[in-house]
Structure 1
Amino acid sequence: MVDRPKKPSALSATPGLTPQAQVTISHSNDRVSAVLPTGESIEVLLFGATMISWKDAAGNEKLWVSEKAKTDGSKAVRGGVPLVFPVFGTAPDHAATSKLPQHGFARTSRWEFLGKSTSESSSTSGSGDDSVKLDFGLSPSNLSEESRKAWPFQFGLIYSVTLGRGNLNTTIVVRNEGEEAWEFQTLMHTYFRVTDISKVSIAGLESSQYLDKLTAPIPSTATSPSSPLSITGQTDRIYSPAGGPEAPVTIKEGGKDNFSIVRDNLNEVVVWNPWEAGAKATADFWPQDGYKEMICVEAGAVKGWVKLDGGESWEGGQIITSS
């Protein structure tokens, strides 16, 4: 066999093109997945537009999802990032939302996938897509008859999830499509995955007012100490961080930064962990000791109500950076 001195070099799959983010729709058109060229990925169910996975470039999962979570559209997903709209919890004294179930209908309605967009880093030539944005929409036509009767207003929601290299941006735009004014609350109910809740502390909530929803018979208001928050038992609090939305709220583990959350137009932060008793009392929370590996730190507008007149819009969001 003659060894030719001028062998042709191996051809690349797509000569001249930089790597692109891959977006796929799977599970009978029920799930949208996106993967960056560097390996970061997300998965979003059209049911509730609920994100059920966010992985870094090494494949490490950043979100906690219960092993008994229903992802078939039969009930709200226990874990990931469910969306709360137009009411946080229940509001029996608020006439417009009093007939709605816990946390409203956004997390239990089927959203439309509106498409994707990508951005390429201008500082790194040839590195491929730097981020990918997925857009989802919800309107009255997507709701069940029961939900439309319970909340008979004209509205439009656009929820955008942008996956970047080491960060995640979630944004919701709310528009009043009718002539009649209405009020709403909204929240991004993020379940963060941690290794050991006993080593977790949350910075950025120091010297801040909070509402403790576990005090009976009426939730009490208090001011947090000047040290980071540690989770030592069942926790369900609504914080109004003293530093405002732009000041980061940081989830630390073993003294090291794990996640940093910066909010835009979302003035409250809900901190929730069911602990042992709460986990046992929740049928779809599994494993029962899973509370040791999760913490909910939820950006929202839930203290009072946001009012939109006909034709008005409102936007809020968060940027989560993973260390």
Structure 2
Amino acid sequence: MDRRNKPSALASTPAAPPQPTVDITHEHSRVSATLPTGERVEVLLHGANVLSWKDAAGQEKLWLSESAALDGSKPVRGGIPVVFPVFGTAPDHEATSKLPQHGFARNSRWEFLGRSTSEGSSSSVKLDFGLSSENLAEGVKALWPYKFNLIYSVSLDPESLSTSLVVTNDGDVSFDFQTLLHTYFKVNDISSIEVSGLEDSEFIDKLASQAVSKQSGAIAFSGETDRIYTPAKGPKHPVVISDGGKPVFRIVRDNLDQVVVWNPWVDKAAATADFTPNDGWKNMVCVEPGSVKGWQKLDAGDAFEAAQSITLA
């Protein structure tokens, strides 16, 4: 019998778009995030060190030493170490004079605070990590007895990676600090690499007794390089890494007034125990946004926020 008022078929509910996945692996020592399009980032909780950043095709964008310590025994050689509260060593700065090189953030166990995505977006993910005076090792507390809180965020998008740091003074007295994002970029051949965007900028040459010079043209590499630039065009003007004349990375800074450019070349790489292979210097260049010339003073209750955004050019 033909029914006159047959019920209509229920409309199918559209499937939700694929979402980024976040995994905690290696006995809860690493956090990784993968976008539906294939991009991936991996962060070691020791130092909140970004170990790997891959594009949708699986190509690695960061250089990591083959002998980097990933077991928490020492800072990681490669990726993106977080430098805080001192860059290098500062024997003449009383508050940080006893700290190890580049401070303690890169050699402390951070806490994974969780993930977040932009509302309605499936094409990005942000991972948050925390370190505070409360969870520092007792020996480190004795060397730097200030109350602080650090929030480090790693944001992955299809064409970019951003890392940001918020420093809060939770104590009753002010403290001074320096900070830097020590990014190791993976490149095909250092001899064909140029860094532009720092033209006409003053720099301190750490290999020439801290002599101050001015950059003329793009930076090319023919030997060990270790320079602290104060960019003439400000933080929003991109610093560009090019390979054979073709841009590959664009770096934009926020509230980080200096850029360190570093390559160890033959002798320094060979003399560095955890730098392998020995000729790995051919395949990396460090371009490191930071606040390292002088000191940032943070009063009680105040906060400092800074970031870098790296875009695939």
| TM band (smaller chain) | over 0.9
Question: Which residue in 2 is equivalent to 1:297?
Answer: 287
Question: Which residue in 1 is equivalent to 2:6?
Answer: none
Establish whether residue 220 from structure 1 lines up as the match of residue 219 from structure 2. Answer: no
Establish whether residue 322 from structure 1 lines up as the match of residue 307 from structure 2. Answer: no
Question: Which residue in 1 is equivalent to 2:173?
Answer: 180
Question: Which residue in 1 is equivalent to 2:104?
Answer: 105
Question: Which residue in 2 is equivalent to 1:245?
Answer: 235
Percent identity for Structure 1 against Structure 2: 60
Gaps of 5+ in 1: 1-13, 122-127
Structure 1 residue 141 displacement after superposition: 2.1
Count how many residue pairs are aligned between Structure 1 and Structure 2. 302
* d(CA) in 2 for partners of 1:93, 1:220: 19
Establish whether residue 166 from structure 1 lines up as the match of residue 188 from structure 2. Answer: no
Listed as ranges, the matches of 1:42-191 within 5 Å are 42-119=41-118, 129-191=122-184
Structure 1 residue 195 displacement after superposition: 0.2
Structure 1 residue 243 displacement after superposition: 0.5
1:120, 1:131 within 8 Å by CA — same for their partners in 2? no
Question: Which residue in 2 is equivalent to 1:197?
Answer: 190
* d(CA) in 1 for partners of 2:205, 2:18: 48
Listed as ranges, the matches of 1:228-239 within 5 Å are 228-239=218-229
Moved over 4 A (4+): none
Structure 1 residue 252 displacement after superposition: 0.2
3-state DSSP of counterpart to 1:147:
helix
RMSD of the alignment, in Å? 1.2
Structure 1 residue 130 displacement after superposition: 1.5
Gaps of 5+ in 2: 1-12
TM-score by length of 2: 0.95
1:246-303 residue CA offsets vs partner (Å, 9 max, x unmatched): 1000000010001000000001000000000010010000000000000000000000
Structure 1 residue corresponding to 2:249, chosen from 227, 236, 259: 259
1:200-221 residue CA offsets vs partner (Å, 9 max, x unmatched): 0000011100000011xx3111
* d(CA) in 1 for partners of 2:18, 2:166: 30
* d(CA) in 1 for partners of 2:84, 2:261: 18
3-state DSSP of counterpart to 1:183:
strand
TM-score by length of 1: 0.92
* d(CA) in 2 for partners of 1:46, 1:286: 22
Whichever residue aligns with residue 220 of structure 1, its letter is: A
1:120, 1:130 within 8 Å by CA — same for their partners in 2? no
